[in-house]
Structures are given as structure tokens and as C-alpha cells.
Structure 1
Amino acid sequence: MSKSLKALLAQKAEENTQRHREANYRDDFDVGRQHTKLPLDRIDPNPYQPRTSFPEEEIRELAVSISAVGLLQPISVRAVGERYELIAGERRLRAHKLLTRPTIEALVISADEATSATLALAENIEREDLSDFEIGESIKRLEEHFPRRTKLAESLGIQRSDLYRYLSFASLPDSIRKRLAARPKLLSRSAAADIVRVLKEAGNDESISRKLEEAWALLESGKLDQTKLASFLCNSATTTAGTRQRPTHIMKQGAKVGTFSQTPHEFVMKVANNVLTDEQKLKIQQFVLELLA
């Protein structure tokens, strides 16, 4: 992870911890200043939770610790209507549920959605390094709060190039993303960016998608290193490249308006929609139908 990103998030986590230190424990509290006990059934999960995996053994160990010495640090929540939304402390909350305790100590702070998402990311990084995939998923959810990716990169204190690497996870096939959610540390952001680049260069070549599934199975079994995934796919693309012709550009008044392309399975014509009139489109359809007939 970028050192500047970790430093920024660590600072936000420390600011949140400072709120805990300064909070006065009372049942009647001012939002953002004191903490109290809240019923577990009034706390909703954080939609921006960056961590995707919560091993049961770790939750059980934490529950044993809480049972023996108590909760060392309250969870953080924000008020949403008459309920509360978790900001940080998912593992502590799960441990309390495992212990069937009705309430949990919580610090209620004033935070908008962007702050909630950033704090959740900061708290998790402070306790245990998140995987690049989990950070990427969290940053993707943060993106909706920023008009441009440049602003998002600036707010996180990272280069745009590194931001794009984190966001590359979102461009992976859904099947791979689901498997990553279960084992998020399998793939780094750099390896993900390399895979996405190969997939984009291959276009709609289904053989590359099948090859990715094959490569992923090798990765999960430990027979292929993540740094070699992209080259594994590139070799497959090179093997099939000889059967794929380069696209022929369709020109109009010196400008490219479309392409003819051919793969082992398809002949494809693509033309910009505003180039042809409805009458011309109909003529092309009729010509193709007559030609095939």
C-alpha cells in the first residue's frame, strides 16, 4: 500500500481514537462527544465495511477475551434516523452477538457517509493490514462522493496511477471478484491491473476469459504465482492471435467511423450510430439478408 495513504488513514484513525479518550461516559450524551451503551438490535452494519472476511475462529477468540477482561475500546457508530450505523468495530460487534449480550459500549459521532467510509478503512488498517482487494472495494464505494478521480486521489494522498491500480479490481470478471471476496489476499493491485490490461487488449475473446478461470484455479491451488497471471494470459492470447485478423477501419471524409473485424467465430461490423441514416441501416440489413439467402 502507498505509504502516504496509510499515513493519512492512520491519522484519521488516531483522531477517532482521541474522541474515545475525550468522551465522558454517560447515558445522556451529546452526539460526537460522549459514548453510551446501545442495544445490538438497533445497530446496522456499515455499507462501506472494507473487510470482506471475518474468520469464525478469530471472532471466537475475541469473544473469549471480551468475556474475560471486557471491551477495551467501544465501537464507533453514527446516528441514522432512530437507528445507528456502524462505522468501526465489526469484529467487536460480532463477538458481542456471539456472547448473546444485549448491549455494547459505543461512541456516537457526527459523520457523513464519506467520513464514515474513510474511518472504517482507517480503523481496519490500523488493527490489521487489509488486502489490496478490500482497500480497492472500499475506495470504489468512496468514489461516488467525489466528482473526479483526481480529487479522490488527492483526498487519499496517493498518485492517480496507484488509485487506478486499486480500482482495477472492479473491472475483473464477476466470477473472479466473488472468489476474491472469499480469499482477498490472493491478488495484489498491480497484478489485478496487469490482468485487466490483458483482458482489455483481448477484447471479447472468450478463450481469454476461459484461460483466466483456468489460471485462477492454478493460483488458488498454489501452482501459479499471482505475478505470472498476466503473462499466462498473454501467452494464450499470442497463441490465438494468428487466427484473428487485424480490424479494417471504415473511413468517412478522412475520419474513422467504424471497423470490420474477424475472429475464429464471428465477422463483426461496427459503425458509429450517427453516421448512417435509418434508410441506410435498413439497406445494409436487407443486403446482408439477401446475401445469406
Structure 2
Amino acid sequence: MVSTKELLAQRLQQNTQKHQLAQKEHVNDVKELRRNVQINDIQPSPNQPRKVFNQNDIEELAASIEEIGLLQPIAVRRLHDKYELIAGERRLRAHQFLNKNIIEVIVIDASDEDVALLTLAENLKREDLTDYEIYVGLNGLDEKLKKNKQKLAKSLGMNREDMYKYLSFEKLPKELIDDLEQQPALLARTAATAVKKFLSDYVEHDFAKAALLEAWQKLLNKEVEQTKLALFAEKILKSKQTKQPIKTSIVHKIEYDGKVAGNIKFDHSTLKVSLKMNELDEKSLSDLEQFLKNLLIKNKKSV
């Protein structure tokens, strides 16, 4: 049996051959019809999980479309006297950026369930979709589809273990979800699973959520990495119980030009700076040493 994801890939491959094939109806598992439609007649997909669209990517795509045209039509379905987008929101946005009125589409005769799966599958094959956005797509599926998780995972080309990790987001507090709606890359599925376990382990503890929100604020301030969020929340909780200070170190990566050159590690008493030696020449090392001395002198005077 061909999976939904494989079916979509087949369709998209067929679409790229449009300049070699005569215009005709394509009939596979669902009926398809190619035509030009008014962009104003296309409604956004209610199943779109993606929260963030990179404007630079949209503009680069628009430049490509302006130069060589649209090589792959977007997919829509008929909805009363309008159309509903199924796949191709980037291409649609690029056309809107170019102030175009018409776009080429493939009209697919598909049910609500088919559309939801196709939209999610189309997004899943893009590497830049965050784990939270994948959860949004999964969570938006019909309850009948979600009931058999093993079958659903197979149809989307993922394993069941990963699916359960994605669904861990549904157990997070509203405060975290609100932030993830704005910044979906803040938390990955493994970290979300750890947070879910933390809340489950301390479900009867009155301060568990408060400890998590305190740790979350540290994450927002880039003082805690997402992989250590649940562990840090647990340390906060135990610190409140024992009235002892939290003994943990915080690590900040030093990055530039897409590379990690070192890190800054600190706790309540010590700060350490680690850098790869191939990133520094002798003069730079001397300048760094002088900078740290000046920093200490400045802080001593201000105390």
C-alpha cells in the first residue's frame, strides 16, 4: 500500500514534467485537474502547521518565479465557489509578493481527511519544519485519523515512537504553548517529552508548574538549553523544598559564521571561557586577556 507521503511525492514529481506533457486531466487515487485561478479565490489551509515563513526565502522564490515561471503548480481543492490551499503556500506567497493575480493550480478532489494528511505530508518533507509545528499538524487531524497512531505514523512515514514524542507538546502548560506559537523552535520533541515526564512525576506537587515556568524563563533568556529544561525545573523544585541554592552550571555557546567556536560556562561562583585555539592567533589571545583584566578592574570599581 502506497503511503500518503509517497503518494504526494509521486504527484509532485509528475507536476515537474508539466512542460513535457500535454495538458490533460491526471487520474490517480484522486481526480486532478490543472487550471489557472484567481489568487483572491484561494483560501489558506486550516491544516497548515507552519507558524513561521522566512520572508527572504519567499522573496528568493519570487525572484525565481519572475525569471523562469512557476515550474510546479500549487495544489488546491474546490470549496463551494472558492478554492482551499492544500500544498504550496510558499509559492502562493511568492506570487502575492509579485502582486500577481493568477496562479496555476492542480485541483484535487479530496476529502477533509485526505487534505489534512496531504498538507501535513507536504510539510514533513521540508527539513525546516520545527517539531512543534509538526505537532500542530498532527493535533489538527481528525480524531478518527489520530485514533490509530500506528497506522497514522506509517502513512506519514514516521515511527510511532517519534509520533508520541511530537504529541508530548499537548501536555505542556498554556504559557509554554503561547511562546511556542510565536517561536516554534524553542523546544524540540525530545525536550517536550522530558517536560511532560517532569509534570507527570510531580503531578501532585503544588510548585511543579511554578518551577517549570521559572526554568522556562531562564530558557527564554538563553540561560538554559532546551535539553536541560526539565532537569533545571527539577533542581528548582528541589531547591524550594530544601531551601538550598541551586548548584548548577549554565553554558552559553559562542557561535559565529554558523560554527561553534567555544562556550562560556558559569555557576554561582565561577565563570569559564573555552575557545578553540585555531580560532585565535597570538595577538587575539593577548587582546582577550587584556579585555578580561579590564572587565575585572571595572567590576571591582563598581562594587
TM-score of the superposed pair, with normalisation by structure 1: 0.70
Identity in percent: 39
Structure 2 distance, partners of 1:71, 1:63, is: 9
Match of 1:11? 6
Query: CA, structure 1 residues 67+124, in 2 after alignment: closer, same or farther (shift >3 Å)?
Result: same
The answer for the alignment partner of 2:104 in structure 1 is 105
- Indicate the residue corresponding to 2:88 in structure 1: 89
Counterpart code for 2:78: A
1:175 maps to which residue?
Answer: 175
User: Who is 1:61 aligned against?
Assistant: 60
Show the counterpart of 1:216: 216
Please give the alpha-carbon distance, in whole angstroms, between the structure 2 residues aligned to 1:98 and 1:24. Answer: 30
Question: TM-score if structure 2 supplies the norm length?
Answer: 0.68
Amino acid at match of 2:104: E
CA distance, structure 2, for counterparts of residue 180 and residue 25 of structure 1? 44
Aligned length: 236
List aligned pairs for 1:154-169, cutoff 5 A.
154-156=154-156, 158-169=158-169
Q: Is the deviation greater in 117-126 or in 183-192?
A: 117-126
Distance 1:127 1:233, change over 3 A: closer
CA contact (8 A) 1:202 1:237 kept: no
Partner in structure 2 of residue 73 of structure 1:
72
Deviations 1:111-137 (A, max 9, x none): 222221222222223344411111111
Pairs within 5 Å for 1:1-293: 10-20=5-15, 21=17, 24-25=22-23, 32-146=31-145, 147-156=147-156, 158-203=158-203, 205=205, 207-241=207-241
The alpha-carbon distance between structure 1 residues 91 and 200, as it changes in their structure 2 partners (threshold 3 A), is: same
Answer yes or no: is the 8 Å Cα contact 1:25–1:34 preserved in 2. Answer: no
Q: Say whether the 8 Å CA contact 1:36–1:106 is kept in structure 2.
A: yes
Change (3 A) 1:70 1:204: farther
Q: Which has the higher contact order (CA 8 A, sep 6+)?
A: 1
- Runs (5+) with no aligned partner, structure 2: 244-303
Looking at structure 1, the residues matched to 9 and 148 of structure 2 have their Cα atoms a distance apart, in angstroms, of 27
Counterparts of 2:223 and 2:242 in 1: how far apart (Å)?
A: 28
Report SS of the residue matched to 2:85. strand
**Aligned-pair distance for 1:29?**
9.3
Change (3 A) 1:184 1:200: same
Pairwise CA distance, 1:168: 0.9
**Amino acid corresponding to residue 215 of structure 1 in structure 2:** A
Contact kept in structure 1, 2:169 and 2:189, CA below 8 Å = yes
**Mapped contact 1:13–1:126 kept (Cα < 8 A):** no
CA pair 55-205 structure 1, distance change in 2 beyond 3 A? farther
Paired letter, 1:214: E
The code of the aligned residue for 2:209 comes to S
Query: CA shift at 1:66, angstroms?
Result: 1.6
Deviations 1:265-285 (A, max 9, x none): xxxxxxxxxxxxxxxxxxxxx
The residue identity in structure 1 corresponding to 2:6 is: Q
- Asked whether the 8 Å contact 2:211–2:234 carries over to 1, the reply is no
**Offset of 1:52 from its aligned partner?**
1.1
Residues 4-44 of structure 1 show CA distances to partners (whole Å, capped at 9, x for unaligned) of xxx95652331221452477537x99983331111011111
Quick one: which amino acid aligns to residue 25 of structure 1? Q
Note the residue ranges of structure 1 that are not aligned, 5 or more in a row.
1-6, 244-293
Q: Cα 1:214–1:61, aligned 2, differ >3 Å: closer, same or farther? A: farther
Q: CA RMSD in A?
A: 2.8
